[in-house]
Amino acid sequence: MLFPFLLFAFLGVFSPDSSKEEKPNIVLILADDLGWSDIGCYGSEVKTPNLDWLAENGVRFTQMYNTAKCNPSRAALMTGLYAQQVGYEATYQQPLINGITLGELLKSAGYRTLWSGKHHGFDHPMDRGFDRYFGLKEGASNHFNPGLRREGEAQPAQKRPDRPFYEDRTLFQPFTPPMDYYSTDYFTRYPLQWLEEYKNESNPFFLYLAYTAPHDPLMAWPEDIAKYQGKYDEGYEVIRQKRFEKQKKLGLIREDFPLTEPTHVPWASLSDSLKRIEARKMEVYAAMIDRMDQKIGELIQKLRDLGKLDNTVFIFLSDNGASAEMVNIPGDGNIGIVGHWTSLGGDWANVGNTPLRFYKNYSFEGGIRTPLIISWPKGLQAKNQFNDFPAHLIDILPTLADLSGATYPEKLDGKPVLPFPGQSLLPAIRGEKEEREKPIFWEWSVGRAVRQGNWKAVAHGKDAPWELYDLSQDPHETQNLAANHPEKVRELKGLFQVWKEVSAQQKASGQLSWTNSQQ
User: Which residues are part of the catalytic machinery?
Assistant: 70, 120
CA distances in angstroms from 294 to 85, 184, 291, 297, 436, listed in the order given: 36, 10, 5, 5, 35
The span from the CA of 71 to the CA of 65, in Å, is 14
Beta bridge partners of 415: 412
The span from the CA of 414 to the CA of 228, in Å, is 54
The span from the CA of 398 to the CA of 406, in Å, is 9
Give me the amino acid identity at 148: L
Cα atoms found within 13 Å of the Cα of residue 118, Cβ hemisphere only:
28
Question: In terms of residues, how long is the chain?
Answer: 519
First to last CA, the chain: 54
The span from the CA of 450 to the CA of 88, in Å, is 19
Helix (H) or strand (E) holding 428: helix 426-430
The span from the CA of 327 to the CA of 437, in Å, is 41
R_g of the chain, CA atoms, integer Å: 22
DSSP-derived 3-state class of residue 82: coil
Dihedral of alpha carbons 58, 378, 8, 453, sign: negative
- Do β-strands 312-318 and 25-31 pair in parallel, antiparallel, or remain unpaired? parallel
In sequence order, which residues have a C-beta less than 8 Å from that of residue 414 and are 6 or more positions away?
A: 517
Can the peptide bond before residue 398 be classed as cis, meaning omega within 30 degrees of 0?
no
Sheet with 440-444, side-by-side order of all strands:
440-444, 447-452, 455-460, 467-470
